[in-house]
Structure 1
Amino acid sequence: MTHALNLPSDTRAVPAAHDWVFDPDQVQPHRRATVPRYGDDRWSLLALSQNPSTREGIVYWKKRFPDAYREAFRHAAWALITLPLPRTVPLSHGGAPMRAQLSADRTFKTIQQWAVFAHWLVARGIPTLSAVTADDLTAFAEHLHKQRGMARNTACSHLITLTRLHFYGTAFLPAANRLTEPPWLRDGHDDYLPAASSRGENLTEPITPQTMGPLLVWSLRFVEQFADDILNAHQERAQIMAAAAAADSGPTATGSDQLLRYLHATKQAGDPIPVIFAGGLPARAAIIYLAAKTGTPTRTVAATLQRPIWREYLRDHHTSAPLDTPVTGQLDGQPWHEPFLYHERQNLIRMLSTACFVVIAYLTGMRPGEVLALEAGCCPQPPATGSGRQLIYATALEDAAPDEDPPAHSLIHGRQFKHALDENGVHQSAGAVRVPWVAVPPVVAAVRVMERLSQGGRLLFDTMAEDRRSSEIRTGRSLSPVTVHNRVKAFIEWVNQHARSRGREAEAIPADAHGAISLGRFRRTLAWHIARRPGGLVALAVQYGHLRTLISEGYAARSRNGIHELLDFETARAVAQDLTDVHEALDNGGGISGPAARRLINAAGTQHRRFGGLVTTTRQARSLLADPALNVFHNSDAFLFCNYDRAKALCHPSRGGQTTPSLDRCRSNCANIARTDEHASQIENAATELRAQASSPLLPEPLADRLRQKADHLAQLASDHRTSRITTDQEDS
């Protein structure tokens, strides 16, 4: 964020009311009109950022700040926007590094949090910032969590903004506006914040499989089955708009004659006139549609339909304006949608772009802002392999035979924003080019759909892609995270209504147990599914193991942060939970069988002593995963635990490079297998169910034989467990 003006020699001097807050010549040309002047009551911070998905943060000085402190904080905000903290300032806020200058979004949040502090100072009767004492700051910290009930992370954010106010006051503000050193700089934040949650700092819940599964299924349907129909309808609508525009520039008289001939023929036949529906009710005549159909200027269409004869006829004879685009996509052999209507095309385009966002965000682990900043051409076709074959969509690195060329993966090139800092710690609003993401086929398909929708635009999720008539201020901007969040909600509502109307209630998307589906939860959910891999609950479940491999490959050139931290955290939580269940079962007399039985018993005891079943921080997660004895993974589909030892693993014959097992490739003779009594009970239940299926008179005999053989095999596994199981009592003896 480098938008400073030629600054005065004394930066403690208050700028004049007519001075620019930041330099208009250094912002994007189409944003210059939004740059505020110092004395304005309304400061838009939109032009500070080149991140296309950033929101337009607006500071309202009279509305947000009390009179006594408005000018002091206006000066501080000007310094915050214009001046990076000098190197002489200790850039720390209780142990963590502090950026020399903030992003536009964080700047807006900081100013908003200063407003909370300003109102508290007025209520406490403190006249100036320089009069604030360390005891006052301690009282404010207590006020945040006891009176306002803020969560720990939110309260900590407020304290950090006051730390920054102190540093800026020391460096740039006059004496009356300088805040004393906050006591948490010396003592650390812990004594001034609410207690940490037992679940740790990352409280974002993954989306439940019951919700994520159908949501992904329907999103993939839009991307892979419905997209062509929707985009064709979108193109037809564009052609209608172009024809109407051409009519507006053509001869009026000729168009009027054609319109009247159309209307009289329609009336004589008793046919309806096309109208636009809104909320299920006719709202207005389809003027643009009729203009294109008859070659009549839109103003002539509007004026003609206001005549009493046509107004009266239209009242009782109207219908939706149909499109000619055929519906070719199908669900179970039936068209997925009725013939398209002119007025619903916009909503279907929104549903399609939302589905593309869900697929890209969920199956790559990108942050929402990273998805929204993707540009057309971000996912080029991978190069041909040495043999000339185009191996684009490999599902797993190890699936290639030794004598084959290694698979070429599609890569998505983009920018990251969260950690985009220059060497001086100043946030770079345009982001930084990062290591490419590796894309599985559905992601590539979603990118291709958005490239078609963007129609040559720069951004995949450009606000102008859906409607080129958007206002100029939206030029160069993508959809905002708030807009996409609302669209995900609308997408779920549309799908559920669509499913009900077709008798497919079982395919509806149920509400998530943890509330609204915020965009950041897709990333957390991907980590959860990769770590736990619930077979069959989500489309592409078999690929979750491969996704870990692909994601690890894509992140190999950078430090283990971001999505890797989430992967490690969720994997460690899953391991701790599973080993706790094993430990409790052993305490209650349960037994373990299999080649790795003793290793599983030891792992359960070690985990219980070290972690007690609770992994609440990324540090604990790294510690657990670093212990080879605790590399235990639950495979519910195969009814076993994998006590992973790479040297013994049969799922990776090459024994090289794999830090986790491929649970979809378990081998019954692997030395890493262990089973519990619970697994044996599940196996017996599965065998009983298979025998019941085999006994059906409707089942062909060869298939029934195979089911009985499978049931016998499962029964033998359960019997082997019962006869060979060991318990902790046996281990102790």
Structure 2
Amino acid sequence: MSTVASGPLASAPLPTAFVLAGRSLRPGVQLADTSRFSDDVWRLKPAIVQVQERTVVIDFLTLPERFRPAARRLFYSLLCQDLEPPIGEKHGAIASVRSAFGEIKRFLIWLDARWPAHLHELSAISPTDLDAYNRHLLKIFPRRRGAREAARAAVRLLWRWRGHLGPDRLQFDPLHLDGWGEDRPRRDRENTTDRLPEDVLGPLLVWALRFIDDFSADILAADRLWRSERTGNPRPVSHHGVDHRLQELLDRHVAERRPLPGYQGQPNVTRLAALIGCHRRDISSRSEIIDAAAAAVGIADAAFIDTDAITGTLDGKPWVTAINTSHALPTSLAALARHLQIACYITTAFLSGMRDVEIKHIKRGCVEVKRDEDGRPYRWKIHSRAFKGENDVTGVDATWTVCDPVTRAVRVLEQLQEPGQDYLLGALPHVPGQAKGDRKDRAIGVAATNNNLNLFVDFVNSLCQQHGRTDTIAAGSGALRLKTRIFRRTLAWFIARHPGGVVAGALHYRHHSIQMFEGYAGTSDSGFRAEVDSEQAIARGEVYMEMIDSHQHVNLAGPSSAEAARRLTEFGHHAQFEGQVVLDAHRLKRIMKRHDPAIYPGIYITCVNDPAKALCEKARRGNSEDLPAHGGCQPLACQNVALTAENIRVWRTEITRIDEHLGQVPLLAPRLQTLLTRRRQKIVDFLKANGQEHSPE
């Protein structure tokens, strides 16, 4: 328990007070082992419960000495959840508090350089000081409004939390100063994350799957060799045995005219020792015969796997000539393993709809496969943790229904990580300096993931150039920069629009999207259903605008044609701005939210939804097992039907198709002939009742 009572701080906290009191701590961490108020450096890692967030500290020694007491009290108040926050305030997340410390540090260092030495208390800050600081921010961040806002918001904490700072507090609200706040354009309130365009998404996903299905075997084989050399315990070999094995290896290189593995221009003794199953020290004295072989065939970059062992191909040729040990090379194991990991991330992010934080909490053994009675898989699920919208800051267990490519990606990640690493998106160990203890309970952060996404794109484009291919990814340096949040946004768009295209066709996208939507939308408060609904509404809005612009809404047929025309006309009035039709997607989204005419264009009909008349609703209510939404659609009888010219054309095509079946030789079975004849007559009567006579061609 904390040694400090709740409520505003009337005096400075006790030196032994725990700054993280009241916060959820990482498993295995005791409050007694965490930072205290008197410490010069507060270590916040114990309260970082999401594995992808980086470890942070608050170091008061980096602040001007005269301002440290006030800063300590402010950040103790922000961190310690045993304290009651001021009315209207709340304790922030660890990452937010650490970001605020960075901005307070910027302000106090600036203030220290401005103030005379005898001033120590922040209560002496004047409006003139903050006006000057505001001008300073405009100078150092002339085009970064967000950075200026963050800096000002941190300074205002000295006012908002003044009740916890005693006499050393800000005496006025900076928000009342002229120029302290900046007008924010209305559009910033909308989700401005763009979706991935098709010329980026298609190649990106294809190359990610290519890494998983075609190239991963080579990378994982090199990884196994790396691990065996790093952790293996070579058996003792007699001097004669070492000489014999080494000579055989060198003779093969000479006979095949194949260079020896090297490192920094010299024969790689460690690699040669690993190839013959002994320790480096066992052959270090044989430099004479090694140098002789090197003189005959040369020295190559050290490689775990070279051309002869590469199994993955591009256009019938090895996709890389070697997987190298040197981290400076683009085909090093460290680089290729990182590309393989991010390929798995891309596949999982786009084909599951999971947020970055949810992917980062995927652990070994997270895949669940449902099989039928013949043992064939028919459904795949991934278990992780969901955070958004949950009351528990440590997250809750959640499940996502995915497709097979996602499970293949997870299987690769399980092999790529060392057995003791549970989190599959943890930092990989191949680069020097990756301490195992620091990786075991961690995952890579958002910034590192964004960087790796664009490094993957750069490598793929370089590979395309080397192999003379044209399927490059139109993103990376100098173009669109990939970010983690773009995948979920793009998936929602694709599900809402049901697109075609190479990627969609190759993955049977529409079928998979139904599975993903079914599983993901029902998981906790994911918010994904709302995102898809929003995209579907925008898609309908675009169709409405097209119908209004081409006057289709006044040329509809069917029992609800008049109602559809009325609704669309009213919608068109709302969509007008200063005499012009709105084309801006964000404004269209707001209009749809307020004035959606609830008209649903389809292939055979356009549904003008009125629940009171909807036969599908009556069928659903009358069925003991609820039908899916609109699963009982009866277009030939429902009064909610309107018909566009395209709908009418589809019905007439249906009649023509039935006529072809009825006229084929040999004749259809009598029962089938009767059913088709009845359906044809129903369609003809339906068109006739709606003023659309069918004329046989």
State if a TM-score over 0.5 links the two structures.
yes
Q: Match for 2:122 among 99, 121, 129?
A: 129
2:67 corresponds to: 69
Q: Closer, same or farther in 2 for the Cα pair 1:473/1:341, shift >3 Å?
A: closer
2:45 corresponds to: 46
Q: Structure 2 counterpart of 1:261, which letter?
A: Q
2:426 corresponds to: 462
User: Could you list the per-position Cα deviations for residues 61-106 of structure 1 after superposition, in whole angstroms to 9, with x for gaps in the alignment?
Assistant: 565x45553442243223323344416x3234xxxxx4xx333222
User: Could you list the per-position Cα deviations for residues 624-675 of structure 1 after superposition, in whole angstroms to 9, with x for gaps in the alignment?
Assistant: 3586633445x8xx7997767898799x99796655899xx99999986755
- Between the aligned partners of 1:291 and 1:666, the Cα distance in structure 2 is 76
Contact 1:138–1:183 (CA<8 Å) still a contact in 2?
Answer: no
Q: Closer, same or farther in 2 for the Cα pair 1:192/1:41, shift >3 Å?
A: same
1:113 corresponds to: 103
Contact 1:276–1:284 (CA<8 Å) still a contact in 2?
Answer: yes
Q: Structure 2 counterpart of 1:555, which letter?
A: A
Contact 1:330–1:336 (CA<8 Å) still a contact in 2?
Answer: yes
Q: Closer, same or farther in 2 for the Cα pair 1:642/1:301, shift >3 Å?
A: farther
Q: Structure 2 counterpart of 1:111, which letter?
A: F
C-alpha RMSD over aligned residues? 5.2
The residue correspondences of 1:673-684 to structure 2 (distance < 5 A) are 675=644
- Between the aligned partners of 2:19 and 2:281, the Cα distance in structure 1 is 44
- Between the aligned partners of 2:384 and 2:636, the Cα distance in structure 1 is 43
Matched, 1:102 2:92: yes
User: Could you list the per-position Cα deviations for residues 318-341 of structure 1 after superposition, in whole angstroms to 9, with x for gaps in the alignment?
Assistant: 365363885555567x35625653
Q: Structure 1 counterpart of 2:528, which letter?
A: I
Q: Match for 2:305 among 317, 323, 329?
A: 323
Q: Closer, same or farther in 2 for the Cα pair 1:301/1:30, shift >3 Å?
A: farther
Contact 1:625–1:631 (CA<8 Å) still a contact in 2?
Answer: no
Q: Structure 2 counterpart of 1:362, which letter?
A: F
Structure 1 residues without counterparts, runs of 5 or longer: 93-97, 394-408, 423-427, 681-719, 726-733
Q: CA deviation at 1:54?
A: 0.8
The residue correspondences of 1:167-566 to structure 2 (distance < 5 A) are 167-171=160-164, 173-177=165-169, 180=172, 192-198=181-187, 200-242=189-231, 245-247=232-234, 250=236, 253=239, 257-258=243-244, 261-262=247-248, 265=251, 269=255, 271-276=257-262, 285-301=267-283, 304-305=286-287, 309=291, 313=295, 316-318=298-300, 320-321=302-303, 323=305, 326-329=309-312, 334=316, 337-338=319-320, 340-343=322-325, 344-382=332-370, 388=373, 392-393=377-378, 409-422=379-392, 428=393, 431-456=394-419, 457-464=421-428, 470-471=434-435, 472-505=437-470, 507-511=471-475, 515-536=480-501, 538-539=503-504, 543-544=509-510, 547=513, 550-556=516-522, 558-559=524-525, 562-566=527-531
Q: CA deviation at 1:492?
A: 1.1
Q: Structure 2 counterpart of 1:630, which letter?
A: A
Q: Percent identity?
A: 22
- Between the aligned partners of 2:563 and 2:131, the Cα distance in structure 1 is 51
- Between the aligned partners of 1:392 and 1:27, the Cα distance in structure 2 is 37
2:536 corresponds to: 571
- Between the aligned partners of 1:499 and 1:107, the Cα distance in structure 2 is 45
Contact 2:19–2:35 (CA<8 Å) still a contact in 1?
Answer: yes
Give the SS at the match of 1:213. Answer: helix
The residue correspondences of 1:684-695 to structure 2 (distance < 5 A) are none
- Between the aligned partners of 2:513 and 2:179, the Cα distance in structure 1 is 38
Q: CA deviation at 1:608?
A: 3.0
2:671 corresponds to: none
Q: Structure 1 counterpart of 2:195, which letter?
A: P
- Between the aligned partners of 2:143 and 2:14, the Cα distance in structure 1 is 35
- How high is the TM-score relative to the length of structure 1? 0.69
Contact 2:11–2:166 (CA<8 Å) still a contact in 1?
Answer: yes
Q: Closer, same or farther in 2 for the Cα pair 1:132/1:536, shift >3 Å?
A: same
Q: Match for 1:90 among 87, 90, 103?
A: 87
User: Could you list the per-position Cα deviations for residues 564-584 of structure 1 after superposition, in whole angstroms to 9, with x for gaps in the alignment?
Assistant: 343233333333333233333
Structure having the higher Rg = 2
Q: CA deviation at 1:372?
A: 0.9
Contact 1:414–1:434 (CA<8 Å) still a contact in 2?
Answer: yes
- Between the aligned partners of 2:78 and 2:339, the Cα distance in structure 1 is 40
- Structure 1 range deviating more: 599-608 or 452-461: 599-608
The residue correspondences of 1:694-705 to structure 2 (distance < 5 A) are none
The residue correspondences of 1:20-35 to structure 2 (distance < 5 A) are none
Q: Closer, same or farther in 2 for the Cα pair 1:643/1:256, shift >3 Å?
A: farther
Give the SS at the match of 2:233. Answer: helix
Give the SS at the match of 2:424. Answer: coil
Contact 2:464–2:472 (CA<8 Å) still a contact in 1?
Answer: yes
Q: Structure 1 counterpart of 2:210, which letter?
A: R
- Between the aligned partners of 1:302 and 1:653, the Cα distance in structure 2 is 83
- Between the aligned partners of 2:311 and 2:600, the Cα distance in structure 1 is 48
Aligned length: 623
